[in-house]
Amino acid sequence: MTLAFVNATLVCPANGVSSGTLLVEGDRISAVGDVAVPEGAERIDVRGKLLAPGIVDLGVFAVDPAAFRAGGIVRIGLMPDQSPVLDDPGIVERAAKAGKPDLWIHPIAAATRGLAGTDLAEMATNASAGARAVATGRRWIGDSGVMRKVLRYARDCGLTVIAHAEDGGLAGGAVATEGETASRLGLPAAPSMAEALAIARDLMLVEETGAAIHFRQVTTAAGFDLVRRAKARGLPVTCGITPAHLLLSDNTLNDYRTFAHLSPPLRSEGDRQAALAAVRDGTVDVLCSGHDPRGPEEKRLPFTDSSEGMAGAETLLAFGLGLVRDEVLTLDRLFALLAVNPARVLGIDTGTLAAGSPADLVIADADAPWLISAERMAAKAGNTPFDGLPVQGKALKVMKGGRFL
């Protein structure tokens, strides 16, 4: 049966924002724009709401279908930091098959065995098993010789390396960024230049090897400057960021609130403003949730003993739409950051409303008001630093492969 979405505000990263109709046949988009509705088609009146590509959330740490569905997410790039680690083709293959058909999990395999940063994992066989990229995991590979081998091997396999950007020699054991807040609270802290040092080293290796690299999160002014200059030189580099690092600074730590214990840690207000500027000027390629639900047994602890991470899948779209309202970016570029750009990092042909593309769609109300509540989140755990914050923008319906979820 043909499905016809009519009276829609079509949001396409490739073709901009327009009003019109979108047709779905089977699991694919068959036509879009000013098109006639075929006789016998099932009409779905979108009533002017947004019809956009389903979100591809790059770099999540947990498979959480309820949270993803609530957030308009239809595909995830799953980080290798699982139990067991995604460093074996059998484990990678099981992960890739686990969510279908409702959720497509694209495993990101470990670059080194056990994420230990020493011996290379079998990238080629893991890629054959379904891995769409390789990653260093939550931590930086300190051995430059190993990282050079990782980049060369990934290049030969046609895979992007997703890197954590913090020099472990400076950031090891730190839970905050050096500055007034960390000093006042007595928290173990690392200088923000730990990020720039890691990025600078990796960019030099990228230039030498020709491999593609994606920094999962860049959060400092110095880090953005390095990425910006590397792009200007034509290096194959991309970077991402979470809404938390765009909207919060290290002042959020003032009450020792462990929901704000993140990796990388929250930065200074100056770095936060630099992050917003990097989104505006196109330095940032991907807006991701960093979804990492943590229960009370991991968060109701002294700050230094608590686990890092936040539940971000359900709030990603709302905060992205907030950036549009604040004129940080346009609506079509938001969905470039949420859909087509992360898909490109993973080597997947999706993320637009073009005819022939997978029918992975989200209908969203950009103005729908709601209150973020840690207790009422659909996620496995509600560890969000935005608990109690009123926001606007919500996914109303989500379609994966031509089926409503």
Cβ–Cβ under 8 Å, residues 398 and 69: yes
- Please give the pLDDT value at position 73: 98
As a whole-number percent, the residues of the chain with pLDDT over 70 amount to: 100
Q: What is the arrangement of strands in the sheet containing 133-135, beginning at the earlier edge strand?
A: 55-60, 73-78, 104-110, 133-135, 161-163, 213-215, 237-241, 286-287
∠ Cα 262 265 268 (to 5°): 135
> How far is the C-alpha of 134 from the C-alpha of 143, rounded, in Å?
17
DSSP H or E run through 369: strand 361-371
Given a cut of 90, whether residue 216 has pLDDT beyond it is yes
The pLDDT of 190-204, averaged and rounded, is 98
pLDDT (tens digit, 9 = 90+) per residue, 359-382? Answer: 999 999 999 999 999 999 999 999
The pLDDT of 239-267, averaged and rounded, is 96
In eight-state DSSP terms, residue 201 is H
Given a cut of 90, whether residue 1 has pLDDT beyond it is no
pTM for the whole structure:
0.96
- pLDDT band for 65, please (50, 70, 90 cuts): very high
- What does the mean pLDDT of the chain come to? 97
Residue 356's region, left for phi above 0, alpha for psi from -120 to 50, else beta, is: left
80 upstream amide cis, omega within 30 of 0: no
> How far is the C-alpha of 121 from the C-alpha of 111, rounded, in Å?
6
Cβ–Cβ under 8 Å, residues 5 and 51: yes
- Please give the pLDDT value at position 203: 98
For 211-234, give the secondary structure using H, E and C.
Answer: CCEEECCCCCHHHHHHHHHHHHCC
Pick from 337, 330, 322: nearest CA to 390: 322
pLDDT (tens digit, 9 = 90+) per residue, 313-330? Answer: 999 999 999 999 999 999
- Please give the pLDDT value at position 316: 98
pLDDT (tens digit, 9 = 90+) per residue, 122-142? Answer: 999 999 999 999 999 999 999
As a whole-number percent, the residues of the chain with pLDDT over 90 amount to: 98
DSSP per-residue letters across 31-70: EEES-PPPTTPEEEE-TT-EEEEPEEEEEESS--HHHHHH
Token pair, residue 142, equals 């300190």
In eight-state DSSP terms, residue 265 is P
- Please give the pLDDT value at position 350: 97
Cβ–Cβ under 8 Å, residues 179 and 191: no
∠ Cα 18 21 25 (to 5°): 135
CATH topology assigned to domain 55-351:
TIM Barrel (3.20.20)
- pLDDT band for 212, please (50, 70, 90 cuts): very high
pLDDT (tens digit, 9 = 90+) per residue, 6-63? Answer: 999 999 999 999 999 999 999 999 999 999 999 999 999 999 999 999 999 999 999 9
> How far is the C-alpha of 311 from the C-alpha of 67, rounded, in Å?
9
For the chain, the structural domain boundaries read 55-351
**Residue whose entry in the numeric block shows the structure tokens 């990282």:** 147
The pLDDT of 76-81, averaged and rounded, is 98
Residue 158's region, left for phi above 0, alpha for psi from -120 to 50, else beta, is: left
Given a cut of 90, whether residue 242 has pLDDT beyond it is yes
